[in-house]
Structure 1
Amino acid sequence: MSLILLTPIPTAVAFQTGKTAVAIIYPDIAEPYRTVFEQIISGIDSTTQTVKYAVAPDVNINDLKNGLRQQNIKVVIALGRQGMGIAASLDRDIGVVMGGVITAPDNGIRDLPLHSLSPDPALLFELLKKLLPATRRVFAVYNPKQNAWLIRQAKMSARSLGLELVTYEAQDLHSAVQGYQDFFNNADSRQDALWLLQDSTTVEESSALPLVLQESWNRNLAVFSSNFGHVRRGVLFSLYPDNGKMGGHLADMALRFLASGDYGEHGVILLREVLTAINLRTAKHLDINTSRQQDFDVAFPDE
């Protein structure tokens, strides 16, 4: 069957005693993403009882709906793009909390809460100011189709921290590279920094990222990223999800809906349950004091 139901013993007991549990719908997917979802689920399970549906791409939606009705499910936590797609087709009387994705399309989520994997820009900017207090301007190259929503939020966050966020729109790789070149040609290393978003157009891994890393190193310019993998390659720092704590937040919203009919939060919720990663070689190159390495969860190079 394409529908896999995993029912922990505590959940089975809860149904026998008439209590309502939370269901988790998540993709039956290979590593490395499987571990990410398992960590999120572990965080959910630390807060509330659940039943779990690991679904294949060809899942029978009607079978899934019947299973939810039979279990008397009142709220679903939907993880990943596949979970989000399934959530849009569920009965309207079932509450839905979504997570495990970067963002969502403008329509189809019924003003439901979606916990993004994208770090809150305010947290990124706060760490930047801590490491480089003289920073005054942050530059970002972005595709508005992917990240216009995030840039709107980021500009408000930057303003509240005394920063100016300067943005370049790029619809393709060519215009993205032009944006980076303009930045490097005009940047002031004493007060400017570059932010790399989770953007498949403008932060292309095989050409745009190497250009950014080389030019920033040559010009002593700070680059930070919303992508953990970039730190290993030479970006100064990144914030990345604490999957267990994020799962706990998803569970809290689901339980609040069960108790009151309201989630407490709606729309895209930026990630604040974060861990920190820093590149010590890059920090040294920029004359940043990183003697308190315990302030970071991961440090590269990991000698």
Structure 2
Amino acid sequence: MIKNTSFSGVLRRAAAVTAALAALCSPAFAASAVPSHVDMPAVYSDQRLTVASMFTFIDSGVDELPMRFDVRPITLAQLEDQLRRPDVQASIGKGTIAVLYPNVEMPFRASFISMIQGIEERTRLAVRSYPVDAKVDAAELNATLKQNGTKVVIALGRQGLNATAGLDREISVLVGGVLLLSDAENVAGISLTPDPALLFARLHALLPELKRVIVVYNPKNSEWLIKLAREAARAQGLELAAYVAGDMARAAQLYPTLIAGADGRRDAVWLPHDSTTVEESTILPLVLRETWNSGVPLFSSNVLHVKKGALFAMVPNNVEMGRTLANSALTLMAEPRKRGNSGLAPSRTLQTAINLRTANHVGLQIGYQQQRSFDFVFPQP
């Protein structure tokens, strides 16, 4: 049903839209970052509305919207430029962004909170966050999201991703904060796994004489990652010596042999995120002991391994990951045709940890100025 309104009311609402958009696109506004609200040119100085809520108010049929028209004139080109911005388009009647994250206690919850912080900082839109349990009512969740006009869901963690299984196809899904994903999981988003290119670049900067990186992996977990690692190694002038281990027993056999045959001046061992070949209670202590005794540098994709003796590791910056996911979400809202371009990317917004004791053990001196280039230093002073 089309709402019946007076002609004068239509004029007043049209004037409201024009004035608000003019304020949004004024040169002074365009020179600054897009805020989370638009200061409406209203009689009451504390009347602050988001663009989306402004249109909702105008479409409600209320004839009176008290305003003053002390806005600066803008050109048509300036108006078009501002309206093309993904965040502005997303806010004008194109739906909302929702975040699903695991309903877990601190300190595990902290990483997801940081990601949500990054998402909200980048979108500057109303972002609804939903903590989800392992057994979530898919039908109820789907109905809630549709009722709130959700167009894009950012699913954080494995639990958040699992909760999207029952969503309508009209809702696009991005995933972040998930440790391992295989090629079989056809989703778009960012893995917690650091980009091998950045890992190898840091390795080369620390130990430029190295020529070979040794890695043991399970193809079911890490085939997609090893493909990226081969290209990254070539770019750094390194050889990637990758060995397959389908179970822990095979990994336990391979490591001592490979490390014993390695040259600490030319070779290094890499521990990827692989629950089979980097099992924490048996395999990790074995690798730490063998590399320490042989003087072979060991680096990892898991920052916790640095505290235990690995030379260095890289870990995602959760806030920056949230911002990157938000960029993708805004693009999907502004250009829905891109929703089919799915693909998993390793994390490229990283922080680095270094173990000074291990560095000294392999003959690497890290001065105070160089230490400042690392985000985390162990042992802590």
- Tell me, yes or no, whether TM beats 0.5: yes
Q: Report the counterpart of residue 169 of structure 1 in structure 2.
A: 244
| 1:38-187 correspondence runs (5 A) | 38-48=113-123, 49=125, 50-109=127-186, 112-187=187-262
> AA paired with 2:257?
D
Cα offset for 1:15? 5.4
Unmatched 5+ stretches in structure 1: 1-8
3-state SS of 2:279 partner? coil
Match of 1:16 in 2: 53
User: CA, structure 1 residues 28+106, in 2 after alignment: closer, same or farther (shift >3 Å)?
Assistant: same
SS in 2 for 1:206: coil
CA contact (8 A) 2:183 2:224 kept: no
Alignment partner, residue 378 of structure 2? 300
The alignment of Structure 1 onto Structure 2 pairs a total of residues equal to: 292
State the Cα deviation string for residues 122-165 of structure 1 (Å, max 9, x = none). Answer: 10000000010001000001111111111111011111111110
| Residue 199, structure 1, aligned to residue 264, structure 2 | no
Contact 2:248 2:276 in 1 (8 A): yes
Gap runs ≥5 in structure 2: 1-35, 38-48, 57-90
Asked whether the equivalents of residues 137 and 193 of structure 1 are also in contact (C-alpha less than 8 Å), the reply is yes
Mapped to 2, the partners of 1:264 and 1:240 lie a distance apart of: 29
Point out the structure with max Rg over C-alpha: 2
Q: 1:107 to 1:286 in 2, by over 3 A?
A: closer
Q: Given the alignment of the two structures, is residue 290 of structure 1 paired with residue 366 of structure 2, yes or no? A: yes
Deviation at 1:259, TM superposition (A): 0.9
Question: Structure 2 vs 1, CA of residues 264 and 253 (structure 1 numbering), >3 Å: closer, same or farther?
Answer: farther
Over aligned residue pairs, what C-alpha RMSD do you find?
Answer: 1.8
Q: 1:265 to 1:131 in 2, by over 3 A?
A: farther
8 Å CA contact retained: 1:27, 1:55:
yes
User: Are the structure 2 counterparts of residues 107 and 191 from structure 1 closer, same or farther at C-alpha, using a change threshold of 3 Å?
Assistant: closer
Range 22-31 or range 243-252, more displaced: 22-31
Q: Quick one: structure 1 residues 152 and 108, their matched pair in 2 at CA, closer, same or farther if it must change by over 3 Å?
A: closer
Structure 1 residue 83: deviation in Å?
Answer: 1.6
Alignment of 1:259-274 (within 5 A): 259-261=334-336, 262=338, 266-274=342-350
Percent identity, aligned pairs only, is 45
Distance 2:196 2:314 in 1: 10
Contact 1:256 1:263 in 2 (8 A): no
User: TM-score scaled by structure 1?
Assistant: 0.92
SS class of match (1:276): strand
